[in-house]
Structure 1
Amino acid sequence: TLIYLTFLHESGSNNPLGIVSNCDKIPFHPYFSLKDTLGFILILLLTLFSP
C-alpha cells in the first residue's frame, strides 16, 4: 500500500500515466488579466460618459 501511494503521488491521481498535457493550456496571468482589465475600463467609461 505504501509503494502504491508513493507512485500515485508522483504521477497524480487524475493522471495515472504521467502524460504531460500543459501544451494546449492558456496561461492565466497575461491573457485573462489583460482581458478583465480592458473589460472593466470599457464598462467604467460607458458608465461615466453615458447620458
Structure 2
Amino acid sequence: MRPINLTEPMPARVAIHQVSAHIGTIVIAAILKVSYVLRCVAQHGLGQEVR
C-alpha cells in the first residue's frame, strides 16, 4: 500500500464533489432557517404562541 503524500494535489473531480457538498449543506441550512422564520410569522399572524 502506498503512503499518503500530502503534497500531491487532489483530483479535480474529488474537489468538485467536496465543494458541491459543502455548498449544498449551506443552502439546506439556509432553507431550513427561512422556513422556520416563516412558520413563526404565520403562527404569530394566527394568534398562536410562538416558540
TM-score (norm 1): 0.44
TM-score (norm 2): 0.44
Greater relative CO (CA pairs within 8 A, separation 6+): 2
